[in-house]
Amino acid sequence: MEAVVKYALGPGNVELRDVSEPSPGPDEVKIEIKAAGICGSDLHILHGDIKLLIRPPVIMGHEFSGSVTEVGSSVSKWKPGDRVTSETSAQVCGECIPCRTGNYNVCAEKRLIGYWFNGAFAKYCIVPSRLVHRLPDNVSYAAGALSEPLACCINAVVEKTVILPGDFVVVTGPGPIGLLSLQLAKAKGGFAVLVGTGVDEKRLGIGRELGANVTVNVDEEDPLKIVSGLTNGAGADIFIECSGSPGAVRSGFQLVRRGGQYTQIGLTGRSFELDFDNVAYKELTVRGSLGQSWPYWKRGLKMLSQGQVKTEPLISDILPLQQWKEGFGKVENKEGLKVILKPE
Ligand SMILES: [Zn+2]
Ligand SMILES: [Zn+2]
């Protein structure tokens, strides 16, 4: 079968290769991939600038859905034809404090599908059966491919951040993560301001369609002034950073109110200067979130099924696997939003 393979560490070293079709071990499920999303971190894998562990040669792709075609001898829960999606934490230690307390998404020994184990940019993918989640009947395969990023956002916005109806929430970075986070903040009853740059104009428009009360293009307007104006000078109750831009992080510490909450989802990929005293002076609650675990998948799939989170406006392109380069390019130059690869 054809597969998009990262065949060596470092920049580049990704190509479409012919690899042998895998078969499941006793506890594993073989999934025929129907949709696989290209994630920002796939670009980092391509460029070789990600801190997460990669073991080449490895088939990339960690946001996917498909149909079960074969199960291992000790798998009884799944059968051929089941419509499914899958978690990505294929290996965790099971012994550390995060693992023992259900937070295996931050296990130091975590090894991911699409990074360490073969992923979904191929016709078939093998996953441990415990990672598999059923796709609700009314959730399409394309939408199902967004259940991984959605579960990440549920972790950050729904579980970690306390948002009450009427809370003033600022979300920076209107990519797929920002647009999912925006919808979750709205679902919790927040008043949401979505912030982006000039190249994000189209994405900010999608944000308005998805419920953003106000959108701000920082190349034209000062978000600090706008937030201050809308909150009688108090500042935002909650700031959710999805862009990974140091400038957005700094502005978050400024425009969040005294006693407010700051949640980081985006990764800047570098050290930068920040006035951290704001945390003390303003008594901020600062949180981070990384990846997802079982309860967040369950909640995300329910919300997709109930229509509380919409994915269609986020899907900009559906391309055959062979056009992976074009798809990566569209994500890189922001011409695309969520690009889905479809192995034939
Ligand atoms: Zn991802
Ligand atoms: Zn662990």
| 270 pLDDT above the threshold of 90 | no
CA atoms within 13 A on the CB side of 253: 16
Structure tokens at 64: 């996917």
The pLDDT of residue 279 is: 97
Ligand nearest to the CA of 94: 2
| 17 pLDDT above the threshold of 90 | yes
At a CB cut-off of 8 Å and minimum separation 6, what does 111 contact? 53, 55, 89, 90, 91, 92, 117
Phi, psi (degrees; rounded to nearest 5) at 286? -110, 130
- Calculate how far, in angstroms, residue 39's C-alpha sits from the geometric centre of ligand 2: 24
- Calculate how far, in angstroms, residue 76's C-alpha sits from the geometric centre of ligand 2: 26
- Calculate how far, in angstroms, residue 116's C-alpha sits from the geometric centre of ligand 2: 16
Phi-psi region of 105 (alpha: psi -120 to 50; beta: other; left: phi over 0): alpha
Whether the CA torsion 225, 276, 243, 153 is positive or negative: it is negative
Residues 228-248 pLDDT 10s: 999 999 999 999 999 999 999
- Calculate how far, in angstroms, residue 91's C-alpha sits from the geometric centre of ligand 2: 9
- Calculate how far, in angstroms, residue 71's C-alpha sits from the geometric centre of ligand 1: 25
Q: N- to C-terminal Cα distance for the chain?
A: 10
Ligand nearest to the CA of 290: 1
Structure tokens at 16: 């479409």
Q: Quote the percentage of the chain above a pLDDT of 70.
A: 100
- Calculate how far, in angstroms, residue 61's C-alpha sits from the geometric centre of ligand 1: 8
The pLDDT of residue 76 is: 97
Phi, psi (degrees; rounded to nearest 5) at 122? -165, 170
Q: Which residues have C-beta under 5 Å from ligand 2, the single-atom ion?
A: 92-93, 96, 99, 107
pLDDT grade for 307, boundaries at 50, 70 and 90: very high
Ligand nearest to the CA of 87: 1
Residues 193-218 pLDDT 10s: 999 999 999 999 999 999 999 999 99
3-state secondary structure of 37: strand
- Calculate how far, in angstroms, residue 226's C-alpha sits from the geometric centre of ligand 2: 43
The pLDDT of residue 49 is: 84
For residue 57, cis peptide bond before it (omega within 30 degrees of 0): yes
3-state secondary structure of 109: coil
* Residue 15, strand partner residues: 5
Ligand nearest to the CA of 40: 1
Phi, psi (degrees; rounded to nearest 5) at 207? -60, -40
- Calculate how far, in angstroms, residue 53's C-alpha sits from the geometric centre of ligand 2: 15
- Calculate how far, in angstroms, residue 174's C-alpha sits from the geometric centre of ligand 2: 32
The pLDDT of residue 269 is: 83
